[in-house]
Structure 1
Amino acid sequence: MTHRWLHLRLAAPLMAFGGVTIDHVGVTREFPSASALVGLLGNALGWQRHQGAEHQALQDRLVFAALSVLPAGAAPWVVTDNQNAKLEKNDRGWTTSGKPEGRAGATYDSPHRRRRDYLADHETRVVLRLAAGQGPSLDDLAQALDRPARPLFIGRKPCLPSGPVFQGWTQAETAHQALQSLNLAGRALWPDEGQAHPRALRLDIPDTRNWVSGLHGGTRLVWQGELA
Structure 2
Amino acid sequence: MGRPILLLRLEGPLQSWGVRSRWSKRDTGPEPTKSAVIGMLGAAAGILRPDWRSEEEPCRRLEEWDRALLFGVRVDRPGVIETDYHTVEGQMWQADGKLKTAASPSGAAPAKGLIEPPRTEETWREYIHDAAFLVALEQKDGGRGLLDHFADALGHPKWPLFLGRKACVPSRPLLDRVTEEFEALTDALRKEKWSAPRQVAKLRCYLRQGSHKPCHICARYGPSGELTAWIEDPGGDYERPDAIRLNQLRFYDFRRCQRLPVPTKDLEWSVP
TM over 0.5: yes
Q: With structure 2 as the length reference, what TM-score do the two structures score?
A: 0.69
- 2:7 corresponds to which letter in structure 1? H
Higher relative contact order (CA 8 A, sep 6+): 1
Q: CA deviation at 1:214?
A: 5.1
2:71 aligned with 1:64: yes
Q: How does 1:107-146 map to 2 (within 5 A)?
A: 108=117, 110-132=119-141, 137-146=146-155
Q: In structure 1, what is the equivalent of residue 246 of structure 2?
A: 211
Q: Which runs of 5+ in 2 are unaligned?
A: 51-57, 103-114, 195-225, 264-272
Contact 1:19 1:28 in 2 (8 A): yes
In 1, distance between residues paired with 2:137 and 2:192? 13
2:101 aligned with 1:104: yes
In 1, distance between residues paired with 2:125 and 2:29? 12
Contact 1:13 1:159 in 2 (8 A): yes
In 2, distance between residues paired with 1:17 and 1:121? 14
- 2:80 corresponds to which letter in structure 1? W
Quick one: structure 1 residues 204 and 92, their matched pair in 2 at CA, closer, same or farther if it must change by over 3 Å?
Answer: closer
Q: Which runs of 5+ in 1 are unaligned?
A: 195-200
In 2, distance between residues paired with 1:158 and 1:103? 25
**Could you give the per-residue CA deviations for residues 21-42 of structure 1, whole angstroms, max 9, x where no partner exists?**
2442111111211210111000
Bigger Rg, structure 1 or 2: 2
Q: CA deviation at 1:189?
A: 0.9
Q: CA deviation at 1:109?
A: 6.1
- 2:82 corresponds to which letter in structure 1? V
Contact 1:25 1:116 in 2 (8 A): yes
Q: How does 1:46-65 map to 2 (within 5 A)?
A: 46-50=46-50, 51-65=58-72
Q: Which runs of 4+ in 1 moved over 6 A?
A: none
Q: In structure 2, what is the equivalent of residue 189 of structure 1?
A: 230
Q: With structure 1 as the length reference, what TM-score do the two structures score?
A: 0.82
Secondary structure of the equivalent of 2:186?
Answer: helix
Aligned pairs, number:
210
Q: In structure 2, what is the equivalent of residue 198 of structure 1?
A: none
Identity of aligned residues (%): 26
In 1, distance between residues paired with 2:249 and 2:162? 20
**Could you give the per-residue CA deviations for residues 1-37 of structure 1, whole angstroms, max 9, x where no partner exists?**
9421001000111111111124421111112112101
Q: In structure 2, what is the equivalent of residue 148 of structure 1?
A: 157
In 2, distance between residues paired with 1:101 and 1:63? 41
Higher alpha-carbon deviation: 59-68 or 218-227: 218-227
In 2, distance between residues paired with 1:8 and 1:47? 20
Q: In structure 2, what is the equivalent of residue 224 of structure 1?
A: 259
Q: In structure 1, what is the equivalent of residue 199 of structure 2?
A: none
Quick one: structure 1 residues 80 and 52, their matched pair in 2 at CA, closer, same or farther if it must change by over 3 Å?
Answer: farther
Q: How does 1:27-38 map to 2 (within 5 A)?
A: 27-38=27-38
Higher alpha-carbon deviation: 46-55 or 32-41: 46-55
Greater fraction strand: 1
